[in-house]
Chains A and B, each alone.
Chain A
Amino acid sequence: MAADGAPTRLAQGTRTKGGIGESTLRPDGTLKVTGEFAYASDMWHEDMLWGQILRSTVAHAEIVSIDTSEALAQAGVYAVMTYDDLPTDVRHGLEIQDTPVLAHGRVRHHGEPVAVVAADHPETARRAAAKIKVEYRELPVVTDEASATAPDAIVVHENRTDHHAAHVPHPNIVHRQPIVRGDADGAARRADVLVTGDYFFGMQDQAFLGPESGLAVPAEDGGVDLYIATQWLHADLRQIAPVLGLPEEKVRMTLSGVGGAFGGREDLSMQIHACLLALRTGKPVKIVYNRFESFFGHVHRHPARLHYEHGATRDGKLTHMKCRIVLDGGAYASSSPAVVGNAASLSAGPYVIDDVDIEALALYSNNPPCGAMRGFGAVQACFAYEAQMDKLAKELGMDPVEFRGINAMEQGTIMPTGQPVDSQAPVAELLRRVKARPMPPERQWESSEGTDVRQLPGGLSNTTHGEGVVRGVGYAVGIKNVGFSEGFDDYSTAKVRVEVVGGEPVATVHTAMAEVGQGGVTVHAQIVRTELGVGQVTIQPADTRVGSAGSTSASRQTYVTGGAVKNACELVREKILDLGRRRFGTHHPAWATAELLLEGGKVVTDGGEVLADLADVLGDEAIEVEEEWRHRPTEPFDRRTGQGNGHVQYSFAAHRAVVEVDTELGLVKVVELACAQDVGKALNPLSVLGQIQGGTVQGLGIAVMEEIVVDPETAKVKNPSFTDYLLPTILDTPTIPVDVLELADDHAPYGLRGVGEAPTLSSTPAVLAAIRDATGLALDRTPVRPEHLTGTA
């Protein structure tokens, strides 16, 4: 199993209840079901003010003037701030610092923050913001590759100095990553069939339910305490402090309750605005976005245009692949460069293809900024390459699963980047498993009581009683990297303390990991129980008093912060055993000779013999360790060839979608979405299922309904509300049977494999494939809407 053999030990001795592998319940569960769990938007402070952000009403314009006098004069208003009131002119950004905290002379996208207001009631703040007069001189908008790279294109960011600037073919290209391996043109000559396709992937919103919120409290030392919902406290801190002109130690951050994230909280939203207003007014300032503002307040998933060419021999072997992926990064860089790296390096999918010619790039445009969302670059590619696989299988007259199986990668396969896949890659097995499942019964809407429209396309809207309904089945599989790639120093920090309280050993875990709902807090307690044999574990609130935990993204937290907790526990254990040897070593020879473990609150030998109670060993001493932990290092991709060992670990999931399509109305009911995924080791099986099912449904959403629609003429968002940006309801969601494989990755703690993202990849193309199967239509874009299925687009 795991490299250090920890799971083997678990099998022996008195196991501590609630360790890894058990579906222990969330420590925050009771608070969350009673309404007591404090989300960022629930915080309240004596004398608190409400902050409101004024956002641009146009996508691209020079700001001619801003008049705040009327807003300032309104009763109840404490402060109005524009760019001119900022303490510094420092910009922020995750990778490239290109984002002004308030617009400076120019707005680059619809909804860009222009001014902030603090007032004693949110309605007062809204009214005051509405009284700020901003005069815009509109500029032409850059909205796609053609308008971005035209000879006379307006440059979205002048005078770039970032580390990609010197290497891009045009200043409106944020980053470009080619990957060339083998000889794609030569290999193409061996192909018996050649399949090309142009695909479009729409802009998806994370749509976490808890809108961006936080509370900034000014401190006596001139600093600020910020209570905030975020994915990565320390990345926020690194960006916030310089903009405020404060040293990092004067910005103290505490994670408050986070209502989902999915990538949308990796960038800053209202953090700096709240701090600015708090420091300006000397009063606590709370900012809570409403849903409308939330659509403008965070980055979205990059929309993408993808061109693919694949070849295969008559016997079903892929010969080569060429692709070009154009991602729209919008007005600011956010994590576009890393998304490009992922899209390029994972563009071939989980297949053996020796000869590839790949190019991925991200644009600067005046569209809404795009960045991290679950699946991060791999999602868009998977949608396209899986459509290609179906086309090839059809061309060859082969079963789509069989065809994929012939080309499926396995351990030892070389990626397009030249990196060998050095752990299990059960791609063919995952597909085999979803295919082997029994099919859901036909015509489930029929019963002795009549027709149940809830089980039909259109649902409660009563559009069909079976007319026009055709079933379709589709398959897809995907590959996602786990953790931060391309040479990033991806580490986490954990502080673990053990002491005796009331006669019982108690452990405390302190990390800066953002618990956004994924259940990291549950897993940390499980790891401590397994490693230290201490039943009672307290999870401290995450804050910046402990070192960085990195981001709650990239399917990495259980791997990296879980790894850090495990590592800290091991160090604590050594210290406890040292203490035990000093105190009791003379009592029993096994203290010196045996392999010693901590289980069930006792020190035991690997033979199961109890040497001492942990409480007696500790006495009144507390053992505490704070330590950073890293996964194995990665390398950057070569700028020209894309070669390099860029990724830490890969994660695989496969789906079979069964849909019923009302072919006349173009309405889709997903009947079942079966998933098989390898998770290496399920530390908490219940949470693993929750991740897989949740990720699957986010993939379903982008397949049939979710899309932020941007007007191509004005670059303005047309549907920033839950009325017109539709998320799947429980009536849109099918049963999701899940098959979990646990094939250990020897490089990872406990052999685990990051879980969260892979199911979001394959879900979308599986649904699309099923709709194609039902309708016979080509369907080269997602989401697919009724008009695309009825020839009325």
Chain B
Amino acid sequence: MDFLRPAGWEEALAAKAEHPTAVPIAGGTDVMVEINSDRRRPEYLMDLNRVGDLLEWEVGEDSVRLGASVPYTRIMENLRAELPGLALASHTVASPQIRNRGGVGGNLGTASPAGDAHPVLLAAGAEVEVESVRGKRLIPIDAFYTGVKRNALEPDELIRAVRVKKADGPQQFSKVGTRNAMVIAVCAFGLALHPGSRTVRTGIGSAAPTPIRATAAEEFLNAALDEGGFWDNGKIITPAVAKQFAVLCSAACDPIDDVRGTAGYRRHAVGVLARRTLTWTWESYRGARHTTEGAA
């Protein structure tokens, strides 16, 4: 094993071009688990901690460019207003120690269906900024997850940042685990209202081979909200609509039975989370005095 220590981004890209099998390590919260447990012995480990750019974020007019290594703790502390869904999801990641090290880039790089950031990135409609010595490209989040723990990165590419539109409406994130903290998702659900475009977007985690959107549910809900004039009249979403939305979200799942939960439970729970997060975000949109942030 070789340990590469690029001092900056250009150097990192060059190293990755030279050693496409190099495994980037930033927070280490995925990579080191695999090394410690003897499941992985990469030829090269490439430390990205020295690449300062990756630890920074820029809040622009419309969007946030979030460096791949910005720790979840920073997102919780600093980007709650701009990226409420991601801030909520960040707060559910593992433990404080892990949140101090891990960042969204790691979640995307690993592309585990259980990664906590995926549902909210899907719901927000993020773009992943990747780069190699050949150039830079933006991958829409919908095209990013290509299989179980596989993503759209080319072997010489590194994740530079994610670009997420600043929230134009309420966002929520819920995750089910069998413990009240420090738990991997049995399933998870992200939802974002986009009043600007009068659309709702969703993201489902741990209930299919990849993180997915519940597109049929979104289409149904977008149509129902439109038809009922809900965006304008701010009425309570009728229980039948919320219920059908939940049913369609459940139907979007393609889960497995494993030691963390049954497929049947995952499907059921995603429906419950879909209904609840829709209620929370919609109540918030209506301006009711409800909490929009889960955690104090």
Contact = CB atoms under 8 A, between A and B. Distances in A.
A–B in direct contact per CB < 8 Å: yes
Interface of A: 126, 130, 290, 292, 449-454, 457-465, 467-468, 664-667, 669, 704-705, 709, 718-719, 721, 723-724, 726, 728-732, 785-787, 790, 792-793
B37 to A, nearest CB: 6
Given A452-B296, A460-B92, A785 B178 contact: yes
Contacts, number: 121
A785 B176 CA distance: 12
Given A462-B92, A666-B265, 14 more contacts: A453-B295, A457-B180, A459-B179, A461-B183, A465-B290, A465-B291, A468-B272, A718-B259, A724-B259, A724-B260, A731-B181, A787-B264, A792-B264, A792-B268
Interface string B258-285: 0111101101110011001001100000
Contacts of B181: 459-460, 729-732
Nearest to A664: B272
B174 A786 contact: no
Contact of B175 (A457, A461, A465, A730): A461
Closest 7 CB pairs of A and B: A459-B180, A462-B294, A450-B291, A792-B264, A792-B265, A731-B181, A787-B265
Given A454-B295, A465-B291, A786-B261, A669 B276 contact: no
A732 B180 contact: yes
Contact of A790 (B174, B268, B296): B268
Contacts of B68: none
B280 A669 contact: no
B90 to A, nearest CB: 11
A685 B267 CA distance: 49
Contacts of B58: none
Give the residue among B92, B172, B267 with the most A Cβ atoms within 10 A.
B92
A787 B276 CA distance: 19
Contacts of B176: 458, 461, 463, 665, 667, 786
A338 B130 CA distance: 62
Nearest to B262: A787
Contacts of B175: 461-463
B182 interface: yes
A554 B175 CA distance: 40
Contacts of B290: 465
Interface string B36-71: 111000000000000000000000000000000000
Give the residue among B173, B180, B264 with the most A Cβ atoms within 10 A.
B180
Interface string B87-121: 01001100000000000000000000000000000
A198 B267 CA distance: 29
Contacts of A460: 91-92, 180-181, 294-295
A461 B272 contact: no
A81 B180 CA distance: 45
B184 interface: yes
Interface string B161-175: 000000000001111
A732 B265 contact: no
Contacts of A667: 176, 178
A307 B141 CA distance: 53
B140 interface: no
Contacts of A729: 179-182
Interface of B: 36-38, 88, 91-92, 172-186, 259-262, 264-265, 267-269, 272-273, 276, 279-280, 290-291, 293-296
B241 to A, nearest CB: 17
Nearest to A452: B296
A290 B36 contact: yes
Given A665-B176, A667-B176, A732-B179, A709 B294 contact: no
Nearest to B92: A461
Nearest to B273: A463
Contacts of A130: 38
Nearest to B296: A452
A465 B294 contact: yes
Nearest to A724: B259
B276 A463 contact: yes
B177 A461 contact: yes
A704 B293 CA distance: 27
B276 A467 contact: yes
B94 to A, nearest CB: 10
22 contacts: A450-B293, A458-B174, A458-B180, A460-B91, A460-B180, A460-B294, A461-B185, A462-B88, A462-B173, A468-B272, A664-B272, A667-B178, A723-B184, A724-B260, A729-B182, A731-B180, A786-B176, A786-B178, A786-B265, A786-B269, A787-B265, A792-B265
A721 B260 CA distance: 12
Given A461-B92, A790-B265, A449 B296 contact: yes
A721 B185 CA distance: 16
A454 B92 CA distance: 11
A464 B276 contact: yes
Contacts of A792: 262, 264-265, 267-268
Contacts of B182: 729
A450 B182 CA distance: 23
Contacts of B273: 463, 665
Contacts of B276: 463-465, 467
A167 B92 CA distance: 55
A62 B187 CA distance: 40
Nearest to A719: B259
A791 B89 CA distance: 28
Contacts of A728: 179
Contacts of A467: 276, 279
Nearest to B1: A123
A341 to B, nearest CB: 33
Contacts of A126: 38
Nearest to A705: B178
Nearest to A785: B178
A669 B180 contact: yes
A661 to B, nearest CB: 13
Contact of B180 (A461, A465, A793): A461
Nearest to B95: A729
Nearest to B280: A465
A136 B52 CA distance: 51
A729 B177 CA distance: 13
Contacts of A450: 291, 293, 296
B174 A462 contact: yes
B262 A454 contact: no
Contacts of B185: 461
Contacts of B279: 467
B150 to A, nearest CB: 21
Contacts of A724: 184, 259-260
Contacts of B296: 449-450, 452-454
A385 B290 CA distance: 45
Given A451-B291, A454-B296, A705 B268 contact: no
A667 B37 CA distance: 30
Nearest to B294: A462
A793 B178 CA distance: 14
A460 B290 CA distance: 18
Contacts of B268: 790, 792
Given A452-B296, A460-B295, A792-B265, A709 B259 contact: yes
Contacts of A730: 181
A458 B185 CA distance: 11
Contacts of B183: 461, 726
A732 B181 CA distance: 7
Contacts of A666: 265
Nearest to A722: B182
B146 to A, nearest CB: 25
Nearest to B293: A450
Contacts of A709: 259
Contacts of B172: 462
B259 to A, nearest CB: 5
Contacts of B92: 460-462
Contacts of A452: 295-296
Nearest to A707: B259
A462 B178 CA distance: 13
Nearest to A701: B179
